[in-house]
Amino acid sequence: GTVAITTEIGWGYVRRRFREWFLYVPIEIHFGDIQFQVNALIDTGNKLKDPLTGSSVVLLEYDAAAKFLPEEVKRAFMAFDAGDLGLISELLADSTWLSRFRVIPFISIGERKSLLPGFRADKILISEKHKDFQAKNVVVGIHIMKLSSKGSFAALLHPDILAEAS
């Protein structure tokens, strides 16, 4: 019985570490002079694309981005979340962020069709296995809800971004 319990605990640890080693990658998001790093989960189910450019979308928790974003962008996000799309163009009218703004249609488990606000990033740096890769033409979709209940990651990385960058 002791051997079985020890094996089960050990195997659970190996599976958890395997998932962390191969599915989680640190990414650094660049918006002009603003740059910040988050841990991302490589999400093979992420098929989000910007309908305007066809760029792949990284899904990012609002809380992970909020402390780095300018006030007008945070207010625009809140207006979007409240459904006031007209206010967004007013809030971003005198900002360079207006040209970055995107609206991404999506369907999520347990939700109907919806829209996700996003911003075109200048680049994303991906650190994987002691190598750094750069991806351009990426849109960062910002989601109000937590993506990880344990806080293991704050972003979902589209698998095409990793394939294109490496």
The CA-atom distances, in angstroms, between 104 and each of 61, 119, 140 are 15, 10, 10
Number of H helices, E strands in the chain: 5, 9
- Residue 58 pLDDT > 90, yes or no? yes
CA dihedral 133, 22, 164, 144 (to 10 degrees): -90
Rounded to a whole number, what is the largest CA-CA distance in the chain? 68
- Residue 111 pLDDT > 90, yes or no? no
Q: List, for residues 6-17, the tens digit of each pLDDT value.
A: 666 654 544 444
Higher pLDDT, 45 or 69: 69
Alpha helices in 24-166 (DSSP H): 62-66, 71-81, 85-92, 159-165
Tally Cβ neighbours within 10 Å of residue 133: 17
Provide the token pair at 81.
């979340």
Q: List, for residues 144-154, the tens digit of each pLDDT value.
A: 889 888 888 99
Higher pLDDT, 119 or 108: 119
Is the Cα dihedral 160, 120, 74, 47 positive or negative?
A: negative
- Residue 19 pLDDT > 50, yes or no? no
Provide the token pair at 37.
């790093």
